[in-house]
């Protein structure tokens, strides 16, 4: 049959798509960060207006100076590195464990019988309440901090995996079976890829959760890390140090979430959503 | 022709039991025998259980009442001997057109180059050259359907179960695809069960047309429709037009019944 559907190339101009003007691009770029810029300007303006003492509200510029000096002394790298390390290790354990438990629950009645009540009761619970128990059992070092992160972040992964696998269209599975796929191939080549969008959504919930719990655990358990450093600063009435911590946490959180959404777009290149223009 | 039918469906019934809601009797006492290399079309009103019957033959749904044998063996599970083209395509959305078609070939023992060649052959056959690397979400309905068609034809099943395989195609492409299907069927030994709503298509393609009754589905009549497919004027010949008319009336009666019975 002739290639009636193939595009001919004299439509090159059409294929290029509308080119947004430079002014439009700049305006759009500015609009997207407007609220953040407004907040920054308001902070700096308020701090300099004299309405607050520098102790209550240090100016943003002085906070940035502080971050800079921490960066030079190496303190920033240690604290950020430790927090991100704990959050990411906790996240990765939650990812692997959550997907495994979700898969097991979807395939095995005994696993489902065992885990289902735990997930139902555990998911809505504030898991940070287990912190005293974790401290009793595991102390206050990395193992304890990562444990409490996993206890929190694993639930959205389990729930997303379970729902994702259950909602895989039966015709996709039949189709693969028809072409001779065995149980293992079915799981790895069909069920998990089909479930990927929803599993990734679960992971996108688990990642910021890991970061939040990492900081909170550090605040409550002490030691190095962004949360610990903020508590120390607070104890020593070092308000610039406290605000520096907030700015650092905001930036680290943003970078992590952005990285995750880039990863999602990469992985789901085949998905309908990848065909639509970006909004974020 | 061998005396034993290749596909023997004997008094098969099927009940859907949704987790919530009432059970649905989709098929009631279906019996049908299909010989090797035969082309049988299934006609019947929407909801009469045509897809369900294909799912049972394909081994996707368990046969709970009656029996279905293929080559004398009771159907227990799906297998590549019975290739199905699903009504709703069931393409793997994370695979490109080419990879979708390669999936069935990967499990065959043949060199990689031959596999790729085979896939390309069927891509060209259904007119999707240039779209090998597109994902299903980037294709039109008709293109998805042609991908599904190519995917099933590519792994070369000896039995083809086709569920309205040309339903999403425009009239012209439909004619081309009908001709391709006929030529494949004539060149390679294949048995075809072909579901359609298009009476003319059924009469043109099939050796026999089975008309199903409104739900719960039964085989109402089976009509012989052997015509010389090579005859260019077949669509206008008297015999052909009369057959189409006869079947049309049978199908319409059932469609009206189905309508009346609907709540
Ligand atoms: N998964 C299901 N659960 C419950 N009932 C179902 C299910 N699938 C089909 N049915 C019912 O079984 C009957 C037969 O469905 P089936 O899909 O086989 O019809 P069909 O003849 O292929 O119709 P169409 O021509 O519209 O494709 C329908 O009346 C439908 O309501
Ligand atoms: Mg159907």
Residues ≥6 apart with Cβ < 8 Å to A271: A197, B93, B94, B137
Helix, strand, or coil (residue B43): strand
Q: What is the rounded distance in angstroms from the CA atom of residue A165 to the CA atom of residue A104?
A: 11
| Residue to probe by mutation, ligand 1, list B24, B27, B84, B261, most atoms within 8 Å of CB | B24
Q: What is the rounded distance in angstroms from the CA atom of residue A235 to the CA atom of residue B13?
A: 77
Q: If you average pLDDT over every residue of chain A, what do you get?
A: 89
Smallest CA-to-CA distance from B106 within A80, A163, A180, A100 is with A180
Parallel, antiparallel or unpaired: strands B39-43 and B208-212? parallel
Of A50-64, B56-70, B211-225, where does the model show the most confidence?
B56-70
Residues A7-66 have pLDDT tens digits of 555 666 677 777 778 888 888 888 888 888 999 899 889 888 888 888 888 988 899 999
Q: Which ligand is nearest to the CA of B52?
A: 1
Say if CB B5 and CB B40 are below 8 A apart. Answer: no
Residue A37, classified by CB atoms within 10 Å of its CB into exposed (0-12), middle (13-18) or buried (19+), is exposed
Chain B residues in contact with A266 (beta carbon < 8 A) = none
Q: How many other C-beta atoms are found inside a 10 Å radius of the C-beta of residue A254?
A: 12
User: CA-nearest residue of chain A to B179?
Assistant: A1
Ligand 1 centroid to residue B89 C-alpha, Å: 16
Chain A residues in contact with B107 (beta carbon < 8 A) = 179-181
**Nearest Cβ partner of A179 from B126, B127, B155?**
B155
What is the reported pLDDT for A280?
43
CA dihedral over A235, A237, A242, A244, signed as positive or negative = negative
Of A52-56, B63-67, B239-243, where does the model show the most confidence?
B63-67
Residues ≥6 apart with Cβ < 8 Å to B140: none
Q: Which residues of B148-175 are buried (b: 16+ CB within 10 A; e: fewer)?
A: bbbbbbbbbbbbbbbbbbbbbbeeebbe
**Nearest Cβ partner of A178 from B80, B176, B180?**
B80
Residue B127 pLDDT exceeds 50 = yes
Banded model confidence at residue A274, pLDDT cuts 50, 70, 90: low
Range of lowest pLDDT (A92-101, A185-194, B121-130, B211-220) = B211-220
User: CA-nearest residue of chain A to B103?
Assistant: A179
Q: How many other C-beta atoms are found inside a 10 Å radius of the C-beta of residue A87?
A: 30
Count CB pairs under 8 A between chains A and B.
87
Pairwise CB contact (< 8 Å): A180 & B80: yes
User: CA-nearest residue of chain A to B108?
Assistant: A180
Say if CB A168 and CB A195 are below 8 A apart. Answer: yes
Q: What is the rounded distance in angstroms from the CA atom of residue A19 to the CA atom of residue A13?
A: 10
Look at ligand 1, atom 18, and give the residue with the nearest C-alpha.
B49
Say if CB A5 and CB B131 are below 8 A apart. Answer: yes
Residues ≥6 apart with Cβ < 8 Å to A88: A210
What is the reported pLDDT for A7?
54
| Residue to probe by mutation, ligand 1, list B27, B48, B198, B263, most atoms within 8 Å of CB | B48
Extract the tokens encoding A128: 């940070």
Ligand 2 centroid to residue B48 C-alpha, Å: 8
Residues B82-103 have pLDDT tens digits of 999 999 999 999 999 999 999 9
CB contact A117 to B (< 8 Å): no
Chain B residues in contact with A199 (beta carbon < 8 A) = none
Say if CB A162 and CB A108 are below 8 A apart. Answer: no
The residue assigned the tokens 């790298």 is: A77
Distance of CA B60 to the CA centre of its chain: 15
What is the reported pLDDT for A9?
54
Ligand 2 centroid to residue A178 C-alpha, Å: 18
Q: At what angle do helices A22-32 and A34-49 cross, to 10 degrees?
A: 60
Backbone angles phi, psi at B40, to 5 degrees: -115, 130
What is the reported pLDDT for A3?
47
CA distance to partner chain B, nearest, from residue A80 (Å) = 37
Extract the tokens encoding A47: 């701090």
Chain B residues in contact with A3 (beta carbon < 8 A) = 127, 129-130
Residue B1 pLDDT exceeds 50 = no
pTM given for the model: 0.86
Q: What is the rounded distance in angstroms from the CA atom of residue A265 to the CA atom of residue B62?
A: 39
Chain B residues in contact with A180 (beta carbon < 8 A) = 79-80, 104, 107
Residues B152-162 have pLDDT tens digits of 999 999 999 99
What is the reported pLDDT for A28?
86
> Cβ(B26) to ligand 1 under 6 A?
yes
Banded model confidence at residue A275, pLDDT cuts 50, 70, 90: low
Q: What is the rounded distance in angstroms from the CA atom of residue B232 to the CA atom of residue B90?
A: 35
Ligand 1 centroid to residue B254 C-alpha, Å: 16
Question: What is the helix (H) or strand (E) element at residue B181, kind and residue range?
Answer: helix B171-187
Q: What is the mean pLDDT of residues A172-189?
A: 94
User: CA-nearest residue of chain A to B156?
Assistant: A179
CA distance to partner chain A, nearest, from residue B138 (Å) = 8
- The CATH architecture to which A74-275 belongs is Orthogonal Bundle (1.10)
pLDDT, greater one: B5 or A280: B5
Chain B residues in contact with A172 (beta carbon < 8 A) = 90, 92
Report how far apart, in Å, the C-alpha atoms of A76 and of each of A191, A220, A239 are: 43, 20, 16
Smallest CA-to-CA distance from A108 within A165, A40, A147 is with A165
Pairwise CB contact (< 8 Å): B86 & A181: no
Name all domains of chain B by residue range, CATH numbers in brackets.
7-81+157-261 (3.40.50.300), 93-147 (no CATH)
Residue A2 pLDDT exceeds 60 = no
Q: What is the mean pLDDT of residues B192-214?
A: 93
User: CA-nearest residue of chain A to B154?
Assistant: A179
**Nearest Cβ partner of B90 from A2, A174, A269?**
A174
| Residue to probe by mutation, ligand 1, list B20, B22, B26, B161, most atoms within 8 Å of CB | B26
Q: What is the rounded distance in angstroms from the CA atom of residue B255 to the CA atom of residue B44?
A: 8
- Domain boundaries along the sequence of chain A: 74-275
Q: In this predicted complex, what is the ipTM?
A: 0.92
Say if CB B15 and CB B25 are below 8 A apart. Answer: yes
What is the reported pLDDT for A4?
46
Pairwise CB contact (< 8 Å): A179 & B60: no
CA distance to partner chain A, nearest, from residue B37 (Å) = 20
Report how far apart, in Å, the C-alpha atoms of A54 and of each of A60, A106, A124, A175, A239 are: 10, 56, 40, 67, 8
CB contact A72 to B (< 8 Å): no
> Cβ(B249) to ligand 1 under 6 A?
no
Banded model confidence at residue B235, pLDDT cuts 50, 70, 90: confident
Ligand 2 centroid to residue B61 C-alpha, Å: 14
Extract the tokens encoding B237: 């010949």
Q: What is the rounded distance in angstroms from the CA atom of residue B133 to the CA atom of residue B103?
A: 14
Say if CB B85 and CB B161 are below 8 A apart. Answer: yes
Query: What would the DSSP string read from start to end of A58-123?
Result: --HHHHHHHHHHHHHHTHHHHHHHHHHHHHHHHHHHHHHHHHHHHHHHHH-HHHHHHHHHHHHHHT
Residue A160 pLDDT exceeds 50 = yes
Say if CB A86 and CB A142 are below 8 A apart. Answer: yes
A 225-244: CB under 8 A from B: none
């Amino acid at each position: 049959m002739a290639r009636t559907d193939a595009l001919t190339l004299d439509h090159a101009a059409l294929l290029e798509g509308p080119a947004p003007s430079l002014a439009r691009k700049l305006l759009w770029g500015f609009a997207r960060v407007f609220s953040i810029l407004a907040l920054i300007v308001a902070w700096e303006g308020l701090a300099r207006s004299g309405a607050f003492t520098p102790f209550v509200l240090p100016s943003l510029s002085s906070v940035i100076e502080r971050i800079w000096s921490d960066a030079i002394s190496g303190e920033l790298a240690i604290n950020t590195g430790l927090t991100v390390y704990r959050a990411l290790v906790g996240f990765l354990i939650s990812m692997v464990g959550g997907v495994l438990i979700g898969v097991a629950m979807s395939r095995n009645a005994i696993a489902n019988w065992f885990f289902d009540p735990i997930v139902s009761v555990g998911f809505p619970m504030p898991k940070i309440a287990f912190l005293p128990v974790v401290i009793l059992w595991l102390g206050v070092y990395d193992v304890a901090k990562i444990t409490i992160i996993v206890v929190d972040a694993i639930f959205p992964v389990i729930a997303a995996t379970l729902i994702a696998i259950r909602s895989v269209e039966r015709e996709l599975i039949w189709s693969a079976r028809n072409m001779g796929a065995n149980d293992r191939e079915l799981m790895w080549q069909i069920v998990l890829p089909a479930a990927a969008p929803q599993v990734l959504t679960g992971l996108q919930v688990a990642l910021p959760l890991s970061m939040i719990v990492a900081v909170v655990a550090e605040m409550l358990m002490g030691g190095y890390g962004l949360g610990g450093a903020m508590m120390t600063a607070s104890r020593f009435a070092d308000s610039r140090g406290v605000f520096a911590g907030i700015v650092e946490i905001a930036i680290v959180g943003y970078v992590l979430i952005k990285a995750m959404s880039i990863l999602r777009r990469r992985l789901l290149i085949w998905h309908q959503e990848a065909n639509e223009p970006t909004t974020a | 022709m061998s005396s034993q039918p290749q596909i023997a469906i004997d008094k098969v019934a099927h009940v859907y039991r949704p987790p919530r809601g009432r059970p649905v009797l989709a098929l009631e006492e279906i019996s049908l025998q299909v010989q090797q290399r035969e082309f049988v079309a299934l006609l019947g009103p929407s909801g009469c259980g045509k897809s369900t019957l294909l799912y049972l033959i394909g081994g996707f749904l368990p046969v709970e009442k009656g029996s279905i044998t293929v080559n004398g063996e009771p159907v227990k599970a799906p297998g590549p001997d019975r290739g199905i083209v699903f009504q709703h395509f069931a393409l793997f959305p994370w695979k490109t057109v080419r990879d979708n078609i390669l999936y069935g070939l990967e499990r065959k023992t043949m060199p990689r180059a031959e596999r790729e060649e085979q896939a390309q052959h069927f891509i060209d056959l259904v007119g999707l050259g240039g779209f090998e690397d597109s994902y299903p979400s980037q294709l039109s309905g008709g293109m998805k359907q042609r991908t599904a068609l190519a995917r099933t034809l590519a792994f070369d099943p000896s039995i083809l179960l086709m569920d309205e395989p040309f339903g999403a195609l425009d009239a012209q492409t439909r004619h081309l695809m009908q001709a391709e299907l006929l030529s494949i069927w004539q060149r390679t030994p294949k048995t075809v069960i072909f579901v359609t709503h298009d009476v003319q298509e059924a009469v043109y393609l099939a050796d026999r047309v089975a008309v199903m009754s409104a739900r719960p589905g039964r085989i109402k009549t089976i009509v012989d429709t052997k015509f010389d497919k090579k005859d260019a004027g077949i669509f206008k010949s008297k015999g052909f037009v009369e057959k189409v008319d006869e079947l049309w009336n049978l199908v319409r009666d059932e469609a009206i019944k189905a309508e009346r019975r609907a709540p």
